[in-house]
Each structure stands twice: as C-alpha cells, then as structure tokens.
Structure 1
Amino acid sequence: MRRPIRVAVLKCDYPLPKTEEKYGTFGGLFKFLLGESTKALNRPDIIDPEAGLEVSEYDVVKEAYPALEDVDAILITGSKSDAFDSTPWIVKLVEFTAKALAQDRVRVIGVCFGHQIIGRALGVKVGRSDAGWEAAVHPLTLTDKGKEIFGVEQLSIMEMHRDIVFDLPPNVVCLASTPKCAIQGMYSPRKFISVQGHPEFDKDIVMEIMQTRKANYPPDVFDEAMKVIGNKQDGVLIGQAFVKFLAEE
C-alpha cells in the first residue's frame, strides 16, 4: 500500500469571518478541496480516495515553513498581498519556492498569488495588469496541454485578481488564457502546476470577499461579477488535476 502523499499548504493570507467559521484556515479550505477532488477522481490505483493525502499547514506570513525532506509537495495559496512586493515574508517565500523548484522530488502547486510567486521564483515579470480585475466565474480558453491535463475541452474557474504573470518561464507550458490574462495556468511535468484562478473558492466565499472589500473594485467590475458569481465553476475538476499531478510517476 502506498503511503499518503504529504502536502504542506503554505498559507499566505487569512480567511474572512464566514469562511473561517466554515473551513478554519485556508489550509482547511484546501484540505477540503483536495479531499473532495481525490474522492471524485476515484482512482485507487494511483491514490487512495479516502487516505491518499496527508495535509499540513504553515503560516508563511509568520515565516513558518516545512523542511522539504519532510513533505512530498507544497501548495502556495492565494493572498490579498502582491506577489511582486518586497515585504520580507514575500521575499522569503520566493526564495523558498525557488529552492523547491530547483530540486527533483518535492512538487509545487500554486493558486492565484501562489501562481504568481512561482512565476517570480522562475525569474519572469509579475505585476499589475493594465487590463484590470477579473472577478467571479470566468471561462478559460484551454491550450492543447490544458485540455490534456484537465481532461475537458472547456473549463470555468472562480477569479479574484488584477495581478498577472506576464511571461512564460523557459521550458514551461501554458495551460489556459482569458482575454485579460494570457497565462491562466502553468505546468512543468513532475515539477509544478499552477492556476491564476481559485478552484478552492465557491460563490459564498467570493461574495463575502467582494462585499467586504467592495470599495476596492470599480463599480462595473463589481456589477459584472455579481452577474456571473453563481455560474458553474469547475473547482473540483481542477482539484482532480492537482491530485493526478501529485501522483504522477
């Protein structure tokens, strides 16, 4: 029997009250997503649907990190902070991520801010997009590799960002795009996978964020997000791709 895959969630922010009440931390939120995705995948030949993952949490804002030898993967969460900032904890996270990407055993997953941290760690430009915010549910245009990785022709994801990865790092494949963001996902076999959107977010979580921080969004962005916030999104399907990536041989 395979031992569980040890995933360390690197928490880069803290949930708002209603989300915290339901999930605890962002670590709890990703534990839920990965658990639901593993069960939905239902591939006991590659990973036990009930006990195939062992998820731990580290608050990297407070500069707590796992030893790479003690884990099989790290997952870098989203954050309201800017991935291109020079704040000490962000600089340390970039350095830790670069170290993880430079070795050949521990795999890396990046989500939103985490996707951008991977880009920065690999030396490409990360920053504010001139195209502005993407918020709530958006359809992605998948590349051929994206269709292969996610196993579908079309995919929608919850978005909550105005920062982007501008360029694709060397020897890295783009998974998807939108009109406002050319690099919506990145992949390097048995090294890392990332998405710009939030597969772990649902309608209630995004509603809480947008209503709490309404002043942050231009009125047209907020109004358009409210129109599409309840649309179907494929978080668990994306989570299944994460799980398959963790189990790749």
Structure 2
Amino acid sequence: MRIGLLETGEPPESLIPTFGRYGGMFQRLLGPGHDYATFNVQAGELPKAIDACDAWLVTGSSAGVYDDLPWIDPLKGFLASARDQVPLVGVCFGHQVMAEAFGGSAVKSDKGWGVGLQSYSVSRPAAWMDEVAHVTAPGSHQDQVVALAPGGRVLAGSDFTPFGVLAYGDKALSMQFHPEFDPAYATALIESRRGTRFTEAQADAAIASLAAPNDSGRIAGWIARFLKEATGA
C-alpha cells in the first residue's frame, strides 16, 4: 500500500535530530510493509490528485485550523474532495482539519491543554477495532473538535475530549491523541514547553503519566486494519 503522509507541522527544531519528523514517526508506527510518500503541506505542497496514493494520513501541527495560513484552506479542499473516495486518517491537527473540511467545527478549547497520557472510553467500536473498553495514548492539544460533521460518528472519547476518535463512512478515520508519539518524544516535547505553554505542575503530572503502559501498538493495528478494509487490500 502506498500511503501519502501529509505533514502539516514538525517537531521543535531541537528535537528533530533525535526523534525525526512527524512523517517518520508514522512510518515507525505503521511499519515497513508500505511505501510512503511525504508532502510538506505547510510549505504549500499538496498531492496533484486524490488518487496519487492508496491512502492519506494527515499529521499533527502547532497550527490551529482557524489560523489565517495560506495552506489550510487548500488542504481542507483536498480532504473534502477525497472523502468517500480515498481512505483518510487524521491525527490531532489532522483530526481537527478533517472535521472542519467535512462540515464540523474545531476551536481552541476553554478546557485548556490536554497533555500526557490520554484515555478514551470506546463507545461505538468499528469492525476493525478489537474488543476493548478503554484506549490510551500520548496527547498534546489545546484545540478540540466541538461539532460533529454530517455523517460522522463518535467511536471513542472522554469527558475532556468527547470527540476523541471519529469515523466518517467507511473511508475516513481520525483521532485526537498521538499514537505515533513515543513516550520519550512526548516527554521531550513537554520539557521544551515547560514554563511557556505548561506550568511546572502540569508538566510534572503529564510526564509522570507517560510512564504508564499505552495502547499505541493496538491503535497502530486499528489503523492498519482500517486501511486494509477501506482499500480492499
């Protein structure tokens, strides 16, 4: 399967030599059994056709879907065109921009930051999910989806993040947390923002939470089975 990685952001520059970029993190998450093509969307690079790859994955970003940036509206247009035509997966910013592109809404939440290990209750499992009541992965977000797009359904969420995992028909899946974040990277990211975006107490609690087991491997399996079903592979 050829997976197009739509990079909408990048890690802090100081962390790239150790951890790489977001596209590489997703390649490690999903494994070597695919061909990958990376597009620097924040630099204005979008695929020339929605069928240029078998599936598309939209990464996280420090940008907000509401920011006045020249690459966001073209990305929304690409996703709206691809919906129901080519499998789509969105994570964090990707989750939010898919919701916006499909007619929902994402905003900067007055709940503040969700950071550290995040746990969602599974409310409506899809066929490609295994039987589990809760799923956990690192998270780092202040923005949230607040209105579901027409045709969307909630698969999992929490009181803090009600729209945690969303599906749209059989060809679009998105999630707010970050299964691609290794705990070491999530910790380093928090440390880089300590005292600026997060208070000392928030940073300490978030880092402590990352020592617990997470379900990133399980979620990788979900994404793999979703893509297999959505592509008919």
C-alpha RMSD over aligned residues: 1.8
Measure how far apart 1:150 and its partner are: 4.3
CA contact (8 A) 1:9 1:27 kept: yes
Pairwise CA distance, 1:235: 1.0
Give the structure 1 partner of residue 73 of structure 2: 91
For the residues of structure 2 that align with 1:191 and 1:83, how far apart are their CA atoms?
Answer: 22
2:116 to 108, 115, 136: 136
* Equivalent position amino acid for 1:90 in 2: I
Structure 1 residue matching 2:51: 3-state secondary structure: helix
CA contact (8 A) 2:105 2:149 kept: no
| Distance across 2 between alignment mates of 1:79 and 1:11 | 8
Identify the structure with the greater helix proportion.
1
Pairing 1:119–2:115 present:
no
Instruction: State the match for 2:221 in structure 1.
Output: 240
Q: Is the 8 A contact 1:147 1:153 kept in 2?
A: no
4+ residue segments displaced more than 6 Å: none
Give TM-score scaled by structure 2 length.
0.91
Give the superposition deviation at 1:19: 4.6
SS of structure 1 residue aligned to 2:11: coil
1:60 counterpart residue number? 41
Contact 1:145 1:173 in 2 (8 A): no
1:165 is aligned to 145
Report percent identity of matched pairs: 29
SS of 1:136 mapped into structure 2: strand
Aligned partner of residue 164 in structure 1, secondary structure? strand
User: What is the one-letter code of the residue matched to 2:113?
Assistant: W
> Equivalent residues in 2 for 1:202-213 (5 A)?
202-213=182-193
Q: Decide whether the 8 Å contact of 1:16 with 1:208 is kept in 2.
A: no
Q: Secondary structure at the match of 2:24?
A: helix
Alpha-carbon contact 2:46-2:75 (below 8 Å) kept: no
How many equivalent residue pairs?
228
Match of 1:70 among 36, 45, 52: 52
- For the pair 1:227 / 2:208, whether they are aligned, the reply is yes
Q: Cα deviation per residue 1:56-114 (whole Å; 9 max; x = unaligned)?
A: 1000011112222221111000011112222111122112111111x52x110000000
Give TM-score scaled by structure 1 length.
0.85
Q: Secondary structure at the match of 2:163?
A: strand
What residue ranges of structure 2 are gaps of 5+ in the alignment? none
CA distance in 2, matches of 1:204, 1:18: 14
